[in-house]
Amino acid sequence: MDKTVLLNLLQSVADGKEAVNNAADSLSHLIMEDIDYAHIDHQRSTRKGFPEVIFGQNKTAGQISGIISKMSKQENIILATRVNPVKAADVIKTIPKAVYHKDARMIILKKKAISIKAKGNILVLSAGTSDIPVAKEAYLTAKAMGNQVEYIFDVGVAGIHRLFAHKDLIEKASVLIVVAGMEGALPSVVAGLVGCPVIAVPTSIGYGASFKGISALLGMLNSCSSNVAVVNIDNGFGAGYMAAVINRLTI
């Protein structure tokens, strides 16, 4: 929950505008709310600096909009990931202020503009055109968390001069997110060029022995460059989130 919600409530009690009994009830809801199909963790933004993010993949549109509604009473920004277009349309009908980003399959609800919270900046690289949906998910997440983010797409190792053409941008980033499918070699090459932390994101792009991203995942876990850590296959959201919490250290 956004801290100001808490402060306002306590002020109301102090001012006698709110009965103690009611405030106690409100407070317990402010921390965690049990709505049968979900236990909303309202305390998360206080504890972790960003509210709970809704994993939309196996939830119904009703469950997603239900959770957004409850959360939006306390939070300024709400994200739902892995929402397909059909479900998204249903959610937007209920919550018209939410915006659906189709390529990244994300719903974002902003109650006010997001302010930049870190000095450093994040750069998202993708190896291929087909990796863009995952790269966009990382990009939008890191932006929503208050970072300066840029991206360069389709600079894979088969034509490595395309990568070197962007060396300046790469070297000035505080954190790099590198997204690649197939053999997943790009993070190793990029991390070999710079000293900053690199978050590697394997994608399920490929066929046959790519095994839906296992090949890229293994490649990244075995990177011969040491400034690399890895998130789940197609987990653009996680990469964006991790990059954001790292970039926070540049404040």
Residues 16-45 within binding reach of a second copy (CB under 8 A): 31-32, 36-39, 41, 43-44
Please identify, using beta-carbon distances, which residue of 75 and 241 lies nearer to a second copy: 241
119, 146 Cβ separation under 8 angstroms = no
Which residue type is seen at 251? I
Q: Which is nearer to a second copy, 14 or 224 (CB)?
A: 224
* Residues of this chain, 180-239, that bind a second copy according to CB under 8 A: 182-185, 188-189, 191-197, 199, 202, 204-235, 237-239
- Least CB distance from residue 98 to a second copy, whole Å? 18
Size of the site for a second copy (CB under 8 A): 99
Only segment of 13-21, 69-77, 92-100, 128-136 that touches a second copy (CB under 8 A): 128-136
Q: Which C-beta is closer to a second copy: that of 18 or that of 117?
A: 117
Give the nearer residue to a second copy in terms of CB position, either 13 or 214.
Answer: 214
- Single residue of 8, 11, 19, 55 touching a second copy by CB under 8 A: 55
Of 106 and 239, the one with the shorter C-beta distance to a second copy is: 239
The residue within the footprint of a second copy, chosen from 73, 97, 102, 162 (CB under 8 A), is: 162
Structure tokens at 174: 């505080």
Q: Which is nearer to a second copy, 92 or 177 (CB)?
A: 177
Interactions with a second copy, residue window 86-115 (CB under 8 A): none
- The per-residue DSSP string of the chain comes to --HHHHHHHHHHHHTTSS-HHHHHHHHHHHH-EE-SS-EE-TTHHHHHSS---EE-TTS-HHHHHHHHHHHHTT-SEEEEES--HHHHHHHHHH-TT-EEETTTTEEEEESSPPPP--SSEEEEEESSGGGHHHHHHHHHHHHHTT-EEEEE----GGGTHHHHTTHHHHHH-SEEEEEE-TT--HHHHHHHH-SS-EEEEE---S-GGGGGGHHHHHHHHT-SSSSEEE--TT-HHHHHHHHHHHHGGG-
Binding mask 142-161 for a second copy (x = CB under 8 A): ----------xxxxxxxxxx
Of the residues 48, 73, 93, 102, which one makes contact with a second copy according to CB under 8 A:
48
